[in-house]
């Protein structure tokens, strides 16, 4: 005979893996080497990998693994079977190899293009805005390891423009109208 109802003793706090162990900040997953962003997988596989990270079961790769399609050592994320190139060419999840409509994450080309746009906006910004943006980026980079965009939280209130291109155009227009600047010789 089984008892129905809630548990007899409710947990006071959530379980944390390695709660009593001091974490080395230079190891993967530490503050100075955060775990990489999960890219190229379906939402179901992303949830599985996130669960492993949350409950201390995640084992990062020490060296790149072989791709099951092209046999090159190009798989740089743990638990993936295909390299990003093969997975993108075939339109499948890099972990479970099933065809899906929505792949989580961005590829390296998108990240690189966003980084260039962000650097262009920083270059054309006023010194005050530039320092504020760099401070927000450094603050966001420590815990997450990703670069903020203007649409995201903390950087949102710094600029009047909606996109990086629009802000770069606005800052160029402001520089053109400011020709009466005194220069001390």
pLDDT tens by residue, 2-60:
778 877 888 888 778 878 888 788 877 777 878 888 888 999 999 999 999 988 899 99
Phi first, then psi, for residue 14 (nearest 5°) are -70, 150
24 to 62, 77, 109, 142: CA distances (angstroms): 17, 21, 32, 15
Per-residue confidence (pLDDT) for residue 39, from 0 to 100: 87
Using 50, 70 and 90 to split pLDDT, how confident is the model at 144?
A: very low
Q: Which residues, in sequence order, are CB contacts of 181 under 8 Å at separation 6+?
A: none
State the Cα–Cα distance between residues 145 and 58, nearest whole angstrom: 18
Query: In the predicted model, is pLDDT for residue 148 greater than 60?
Result: no
SS3 103: coil
Q: Which residues, in sequence order, are CB contacts of 178 under 8 Å at separation 6+?
A: none
Per-residue confidence (pLDDT) for residue 45, from 0 to 100: 94
The label of the residue with tokens 């409950």 reads 55
Using 50, 70 and 90 to split pLDDT, how confident is the model at 78?
A: very high
Q: Are 164 and 117 in contact (CB under 8 A)?
A: yes
Per-residue confidence (pLDDT) for residue 15, from 0 to 100: 79
State the Cα–Cα distance between residues 31 and 174, nearest whole angstrom: 39
Q: Are 92 and 99 in contact (CB under 8 A)?
A: yes
Output the pTM of the full model: 0.55
Highest mean pLDDT among 93-107, 128-142, 163-177: 93-107
Using 50, 70 and 90 to split pLDDT, how confident is the model at 107?
A: low
117-126: per-residue pLDDT in tens? Answer: 888 888 888 8
Query: In the predicted model, is pLDDT for residue 147 greater than 70?
Result: no
SS3 139: helix
Per-residue confidence (pLDDT) for residue 177, from 0 to 100: 52
């Amino acid at each position: 005979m089984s008892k129905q109802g809630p548990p007899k003793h409710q947990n006071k706090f959530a379980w944390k893996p390695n709660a009593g162990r001091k974490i080395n900040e230079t190891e993967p997953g530490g503050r100075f080497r955060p775990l990489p962003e999960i890219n190229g997988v379906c939402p179901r596989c992303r949830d599985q990998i996130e669960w492993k990270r949350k409950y201390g079961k995640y084992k990062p790769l020490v060296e790149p693994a072989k791709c099951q399609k092209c046999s090159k050592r190009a798989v740089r994320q743990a638990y993936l079977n295909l390299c990003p190139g093969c997975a993108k060419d075939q339109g499948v999840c890099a972990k479970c190899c099933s065809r899906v409509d929505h792949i989580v994450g961005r590829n390296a080309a998108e990240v690189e293009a966003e980084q260039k746009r962000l650097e262009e906006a920083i270059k054309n910004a006023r010194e005050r805005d530039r320092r504020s943006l760099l401070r927000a980026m450094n603050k966001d980079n420590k815990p997450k390891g990703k670069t903020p965009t203007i649409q995201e939280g903390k950087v949102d209130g710094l600029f009047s423009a909606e996109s990086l291109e629009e802000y770069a155009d606005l800052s160029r227009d402001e520089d053109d109208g400011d020709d009466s600047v005194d220069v001390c010789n």
